[in-house]
Amino acid sequence: MAESTRLVDLVQLGIDEFISARTAELSAIAPELVPFTDVARTFLSGGKRFRALFCYWGWQAASGVADGFDPLPDDSVSADLPGIVRAAAALEVFHAAALVHDDIMDNSDTRRGSPSAHKLYAAVHSSSGWRGSPSAFGQSAALLLGDLLLGWSDELFDEGTALLANPAAGPAGRAEFTRMRTEVTAGQYLDILEENAWTTYPESDALARAHRVIVYKSAKYSVQAPLAIGAALGGASLPQLGSLRAFGLPLGVAYQLRDDLLGVFGDPVVTGKPAGDDLREGKRTVLIALARTTLPPHARTLLDELLGDPELDAQQVEMIRTAIRDCGAVDQIERIIDHNVGLARDAIATAPIAPSARTQLLQLADTVTRRSA
């Protein structure tokens, strides 16, 4: 995975350089905007860069570049950053925007072990002694930050496609990028809809509706779309695109199912989120849907009463965890994860893609579904 590690470093370099240039633009407007971009820089530092990795290996799967990207004579020179690296970096900027907006909607206090954007801005308001509500200012500022990052992701993506050896691939990649934006926004709405409207739908529909949220909010967005974007930028044939999509969707489902388990059972020291945070947010996940089908009536009623309570204490969280674990839902999720990883592996076993990319994608499949954070 040495090449993937180097790609992550190059993506960070591209993001840092891009943010520095945009910071200069904003500081020319008003010096008060510099702290605004400082928060953007914080949200664009670190992370696993899975979307960038899938984008890059999708590109290599289609383009057949055996040795990966060319060595850079000077990593500080932006013009030498390959186009695919910048396009992959744009996905990470888009992801940062989505996280900022997601934290506002979920009222999350933390992100990766640090205060979320709206909490950071609220703290700035409080420490500065400004008038008005720190909370309202924090949410407004974070909303604008997310909007700014969305625009920047478009700029960076266009910069990347302009540097490609085959500029004609740009429109195909842009079409995939646009589809991703539409699908993840739709998935995000379906997610908050389930949290609020689940009692109005038939009980028998709960599992299917939870699965639909996984597909559009995460599976396509986290794995399938980045693969398709990269492949399109590499001039992928229809069979190549089809194979990568068939690989990406079940793997994306497995990825999100692992995330759902971590949202309930993950170690806060590792995940950077409070224990049981998904329970306080009332996430109607596949895990919860499966648990509700097997819990006895009194336990199911108690789960429904507690789920979504932001004031859940540690004892209540542990009580819910125990109920979910004891009813067999966790074991069932693990089996579904294994099944989907198997489907993904089978999809590219004989796919017409570059062998080096197949090897890397199979390794990534293990990485994203066996992680602890």
CATH number at residue 84: 1.10.600.10
Question: At 110, is the secondary structure helix, strand, or coil?
Answer: strand
Contact by Cβ (8 Å): 99, 143: no
Contact by Cβ (8 Å): 145, 100: yes
Instruction: Name residues whose C-beta falls within 8 Å of residue 115's C-beta, 6 or more positions apart in sequence.
Output: 109, 123
Confidence tier at 339 by pLDDT (50, 70, 90): very high
pLDDT digits (tens, 9 = 90+) for 120-176: 999 999 999 999 999 999 999 999 999 999 999 999 999 999 998 887 899 999 999
Give percent of the chain with pLDDT exceeding 90: 75
Which tokens sit at 113? 């072990």
Backbone phi, then psi, for 114, in 5-degree steps?
-125, 165
Domain count, the chain: 1
Number of H helices, E strands in the chain: 17, 2
Confidence tier at 74 by pLDDT (50, 70, 90): very low
Confidence tier at 81 by pLDDT (50, 70, 90): low
Please tell me the predicted confidence (pLDDT) of residue 65: 57
Please tell me the predicted confidence (pLDDT) of residue 67: 44
Please tell me the predicted confidence (pLDDT) of residue 66: 45
Rounded CA-CA distance 249/219 in Å is 6
Contact by Cβ (8 Å): 317, 275: yes
Checking if the pLDDT of 215 tops 70, the result is yes
The region of weakest confidence among 6-15, 201-210, 241-250, 266-275 is 266-275
Which tokens sit at 209? 């509706």
Range of the domain at 256: 2-369
* DSSP letter (8 states) at residue 131: S
Strand partners, 114: 111
Query: How many other CB atoms are found less than 10 A from the CB of residue 270?
Result: 12
Q: Given the structure tokens 């085959």, which residue do they identify?
A: 166
The residue-averaged pLDDT of 291-299 equals 93
Checking if the pLDDT of 371 tops 90, the result is no
Checking if the pLDDT of 213 tops 90, the result is yes
Please tell me the predicted confidence (pLDDT) of residue 68: 47
Q: Indicate the pTM of the whole model.
A: 0.91
pLDDT digits (tens, 9 = 90+) for 240-251: 999 999 999 999
Give percent of the chain with pLDDT exceeding 70: 95
Checking if the pLDDT of 73 tops 60, the result is no
Confidence tier at 272 by pLDDT (50, 70, 90): confident
Checking if the pLDDT of 308 tops 80, the result is yes
Contact by Cβ (8 Å): 261, 369: no
Checking if the pLDDT of 79 tops 70, the result is no
pLDDT digits (tens, 9 = 90+) for 14-63: 999 999 999 999 999 999 898 888 888 888 988 889 999 999 999 999 98
Please tell me the predicted confidence (pLDDT) of residue 110: 77
Checking if the pLDDT of 99 tops 70, the result is yes
Give which of 175, 234, 180 is closest to 357, Cα–Cα: 234
